[in-house]
A and B are shown apart, each in its own frame.
Chain A
Amino acid sequence: MATEKIITSKDVHLYYGEREALKGIDLDFMAHEITALIGPSGSGKSTYLRLLNRMNDLIPNIRITGDIRLHGQDIYAPATDIVQLRKEVGMVFQQPNPFPFSIYENVIYGLRLAGEKNKAVLDEVVESSLKAAAVWEETKDVLHQSALSLSGGQQQRVCIARVLAVKPAVILLDEPTSALDPISSSKIEQMLVNLKADYTIIMVTHNMQQAARSSDRTAFFLDGKLVEYSETAKFFTAPDRKESEDYISGRFG
């Protein structure tokens, strides 16, 4: 399959005040693939991920240099519509964070605010998004109950459905399963693999097996630098770098 680069980044540096948290990252993402970002705590994975939908913008005293492009467009150009960018690049967080509204409202909230009123359309989006997020069976009879009444794993899948309903091109996930039990985790993992056909997925994870099983490429971060970026099968069997090997075998981090 011919792969197309959907996001490119060149020489990205990020400073929190004086502290350099990203030290020149070059990293490109292929459309319709799952890319796993791994690395020890504090290595800059979340910081990098949040650059891609400009979630870092609100942090005071932050400085960003370099070049990040989505579909060839510089997302840090002054003319960029951040709201539009975030519709294209959705994000799922570590802690499930549904709104304290009904499951139905959670999924269609973005659409409704965008002005969609047609109930048939909304119903359809709710069903297809919840199905794609593999949580339809569990929620179809309780759509109008609070999303907070669901289990953590179900909440996280509703949060994913909420992102899917906006129809982004790219989905960023920051340790989406680290707060969940193994069964919920593997459901989400399986679901992500199924979503590849329609979305590009970039996921931070601390779970080596998860990265090895579900991702196509793996990027290994260490101390604000990208140490190695290669196809997942190669990365986990024959890494190029000594640090990668040490990390995989659990020698540090």
Chain B
Amino acid sequence: MNVKQQDKLATGVLYTIASLIILVLASLLAFILIQGLPRVTWHFLTTPARSFEAGGGIGIQLFNSFYLLVLAMLISVPLSLGAGIYLSEYAKKNWLTSLIRTSIEILSSLPSVVVGLFGFLIFVIQFKFGFSILSGALVLTVFNLPLLTRNVEESLASISSMQREAGLALGLSRWETVTRIIVPEALPGITTGMILGAGRVFGEAAALIYTAGQSAPALDFTNWNPFYIASPLNPLRPAETLAVHIWKINSEGIMPDAVAVSAGASAVLIIAVLLFNLSARWFGQHLYQKMTSSGKKGA
């Protein structure tokens, strides 16, 4: 076999593997969507679930998922930015920072069910937050923070050190160089990582079962006072999310249309996660073009 034939063979093998992966993904998607989409109507997306009779929706779960996501990101985005900037730009190389890095690595590889049980013991029991949005958001932060921090650190580290020297040599302070040159340059990568993280959080179930809880009490969408018990914004109410709902229906659902509800909810979840992923790519590229003002003319 000569080099050319080898090359052809290798290319062929790689193409086969790639198409296999795509095929698996596509059929999985098709299966979930074909099963679930017929169920997805406006009514399904907006009405509360029903436990015993057919015709329930996923309105509250959907709202809970987004609310938890927003809260979790509100906590973890600034924290991960701070930690990532510190690790990449300021931390000296010594035993302490390498300990921090190792801890982050270990944290990011913990199974989410373990993180969930930890959250149960700490937030639910110890801090007495109960099964609540707050416990859920905190545990999602624990789950998400290490990955986001690493993403920020790596995005920053990928910017050439020549750019830092250029900034400093122009008489910018260290802080100005980091925040006005390095972070903007790394922003596309950082944003992509954040959106992907959001998708991961949105689809997370195991970490939430024992923290945000498995019940979705009726909400009063006319009262947005966060201190009102049935307010959608009340952070201390239990809040079953979409992903938890799917798990629960499949393990103990007793409504007659459980299979259809589960299929519909799965379709919605998959679509949402797909949207996160696609928008991450689009947004990252868009932002990069904007930052580098390549393409269209700026103002």
A95 touches B180 (CB 8 A): no
A148 touches B173 (CB 8 A): no
- Find B163's partner among A91, A97, A113 (CB 8 Å cutoff): A97
B169 within 8 A of A: yes
A113 to B172, CA, bound (A): 8
Interface residue? B176 (CB, 8 A): yes
Within 8 A of A (CB), among B158-172: 160, 162-163, 165-166, 168-172
Contact of A122 with B by CB under 8 A: no
**Given that A90-B170, A109-B170 are contacting pairs, would A101 and B291 also be in contact in the complex, using a CB cutoff of 8 Å?**
yes
B293 contacts the other chain (CB 8 A) = yes
Q: Do A90 and B169 touch across chains, with their CB atoms under 8 A apart?
A: yes
- A149 on the B face (CB < 8 A): yes
B37 within 8 A of A: no
- Please pick, from A86, A148, A162, the residue contacting B168 in the complex, using a CB distance under 8 A: A86
**B289, closest chain A residue (CB):** A146
A148, B294: Cβ atoms closer than 8 Å? yes
Chain B residue numbers with a CB within 8 Å of A109 are 170, 180-181
Chain B nearest CB, measured from A3 CB (Å): 26
**B162→A95 contact, CB < 8 A:** yes
Q: Is A110 an interface residue (CB 8 A)?
A: yes
Of B162, B169, B185, B293, the most chain A CB neighbours within 10 A belong to B169
Please tell me which one of the listed residues A100, A146, A149, A162 contacts residue B170 in the complex, with CB atoms under 8 A apart. Answer: A162
Chain B residues with CB under 8 A of A113: 172, 176, 180
Q: Which residues of A contact B298 (CB under 8 A)?
A: 102, 104, 144
- Cα distance A224–B261 in the bound complex, in angstroms: 77
- Output the least CB separation between B175 and chain A (Å): 10
Q: Does A163 contact B (CB under 8 A)?
A: yes
Q: Which residues of B contact A145 (CB under 8 A)?
A: 293-294, 297
Q: Is B251 an interface residue (CB 8 A)?
A: no
A97 adjacent to B172 (CB under 8 Å):
no
Q: For residue B293, which residues in chain A have a CB less than 8 angstroms away from its CB?
A: 101-102, 105, 144-146
Q: Is A55 in contact with B168, judged by CB distance below 8 angstroms?
A: yes
Closest B residue to A100 by beta carbon equals: B292
How many angstroms from the CA of A225 to the CA of B297 in the assembled complex?
A: 51
B160 closest partner in A (C-beta) = A97
Residues of B within 8 A of A55 (CB): 165, 168-169
A99 touching B162 in the complex, CB below 8 Å, given contacts A86-B168, A113-B172: no
Determine the distance from Cα of A166 to Cα of B169 in the docked complex, in whole angstroms.
11
- The reply to whether A83 and B162 form a contact with Cβ atoms under 8 Å apart is no
Instruction: Report the minimal beta-carbon distance from A41 to chain B, rounded to whole angstroms.
Output: 20
Instruction: Indicate which residue in B162, B173, B176, B180 contacts A93 across the interface (CB closer than 8 Å).
Output: B162
Chain B residues close to A by CB (< 8 Å): 92, 160, 162-163, 165-166, 168-173, 176, 180-181, 185, 291-294, 297-299
